[in-house]
Structure 1
Amino acid sequence: MAELEHYLRPLYDYWYYSLIAGIFLLFAAKFVEKLSVAIFGFIIGINMLFPAIVARVPQIKEWLSNPTYYQISMVVFGVIAAAVLYAIYKSITFIFGFLIVGALGYYLANFIIGYFGITLSFEPLYLYAGVAIVLGILGGIVTYKKSAEVIGILSILVGAGTISAVIIGFILRGNFSKVNEPLFSSIAIVIFLILVVLGFVINFKKKKE
């Protein structure tokens, strides 16, 4: 739970960044794909990568002991992360599809061989890997071609998670140690699910003919 608090804390502490970015990702991701990718990178940069680097490099932590310097450095790092993700996001969509579909293909092949008790004259791992690679490539191509939809879905999830973290942070008044209590964890999940549904309705609703 301490690790969860480590990632939730920056979202709450810098809620004025998080809330604006979260709202945009939740409600406009599908309509402004490239900008949403940049904002996605910014959120990852300031709320995950930057705190992780500072926590693991004592010298940097010492340099940024002044809150003003810390915030300026955090924003600069977020902008850099946004630029990097913006530059390579097409590749990321392919990799994302390859890994997800490839993993599903691997476990599906493994399950079928095991369930039906099929005996192979060669090492089954080769078959599993082959299926995973073929399906992974197909999945990568599909996600690459459907990057707007993929980015839209990811953005909705990240936006909903970001806004939920900010809201629950205000409810808990920054005391994230309570987030594992059944009441507050349930509230956080309900808020997240409501926002996800709302995001999907707004971004993917079909236009009437």
Structure 2
Amino acid sequence: MNLQVLKLHTVLELWYVVIPICIFIVFAAKYLENILMPLLGFLLGTFFAAPFFIEWMGKVEFFKELQEKLLQSSTAQLIFALIVGVLCGAVLYGIYKLFVFLAGFSVAGALGYYAVRLIVQGKDLGTVGQFDLNFLVPIGCGILLGTICGLIAARNSSKVLALISMIVASGLLAFSIVGWVYVWINRSPVDQVLKIFEDRLLVFSLTILWLVVLGLAISFNFRRRVKQTLSSNKSGRINQ
């Protein structure tokens, strides 16, 4: 994957938007169930969907002129990214149950497919008609597992949504910290921040920081929720 397409330097340029939202999600996800999906949609739309849209415009003749205008102005790119972020937030807010199901289906389906593929690798399962079972079985298991996990995820949508939001927010927060440290130490322009992925030590630091922030977020949000559930159960028993 070409990371240049993502224009991740906008994460640093929009630090005044990214950092407050990410900190808010990381440490208060359990309070944000009603607005978590719009915030997640905004982050995904601004920093992931918008760059792909701009890249895609260059492949369609009708949008090439618009792409050229966007590429000529960083301000125009930021405005376009913010608009796409707001639109994605609004759309995902309307279909967030479907989004959670698709997220669970995609992750579990992919894991199931590759796990079964590794198991049957080197074995001859035969054929059914013209279809090779070595190809069909992993796909079938992936679809079945994906559907089951997708339905479970949709049933527990608030928890799954909180987890997905914390993964995205902690990743952007870790990237912001490592990115700004890299820019400050090397005195390099913000648009050169992707060079951190060329340094294994920086990639390792980014990954560790991401996991640490994510771990803190999960601990802070889900442990508090468990404690609140236990305390409410105890109070309910006392009242009885």
Same fold (TM over 0.5): yes
Q: Which amino acid aligns with 1:176?
A: V
Q: 1:139 aligns with which of 128, 134, 149?
A: 149
Tell me which residue corresponds to 1:20. 20
| Higher mean displacement: 166-175 or 53-62 | 53-62
Q: Distance in 1 between matches of 2:13 and 2:80?
A: 15
Residue 185 (structure 2) pairs with residue 168 (structure 1): no
Q: Which amino acid aligns with 1:27?
A: F
Tell me which residue corresponds to 2:61. none
SS at match of 1:33: coil
Tell me which residue corresponds to 1:44. 44
The structure-2 alpha-carbon separation of the partners of 1:12 and 1:131, relative to structure 1 and needing over 3 Å to count, comes to: same
Matches within 5 A, 1:1-209: 3=3, 6-57=6-57, 58-64=64-70, 65-114=72-121, 119=125, 122=128, 123-124=132-133, 125-173=135-183, 174=190, 175-179=192-196, 180-205=198-223, 206-207=226-227, 209=231
CA contact (8 A) 1:50 1:74 kept: yes
CA contact (8 A) 1:43 1:78 kept: yes
CA contact (8 A) 1:54 1:61 kept: yes
Which 5+ residue runs of structure 1 have no aligned equivalent?
Answer: none
Aligned residues: 208
What are the superposed Cα offsets for residues 44-66 of structure 1, whole Å, 9 maximum, x if unpaired?
A: 21112222323443422443444
Q: Distance in 1 between matches of 2:108 and 2:79?
A: 39
Which 5+ residue runs of structure 2 have no aligned equivalent?
Answer: 58-63, 184-189, 232-240
Q: Which amino acid aligns with 1:128?
A: P
Q: 1:198: how far off?
A: 0.8
| Higher mean displacement: 179-188 or 121-130 | 121-130
| Higher mean displacement: 181-190 or 133-142 | 181-190
| Higher mean displacement: 92-101 or 36-45 | 92-101
**RMSD between aligned residues:** 2.7
| Higher mean displacement: 79-88 or 105-114 | 105-114
Q: 1:20: how far off?
A: 1.8
Moved over 6 A (4+): none
Q: 1:113: how far off?
A: 4.3
The structure-2 alpha-carbon separation of the partners of 1:203 and 1:4, relative to structure 1 and needing over 3 Å to count, comes to: farther
Q: 1:181: how far off?
A: 1.8
Larger Rg: 2
Q: 1:151: how far off?
A: 1.1
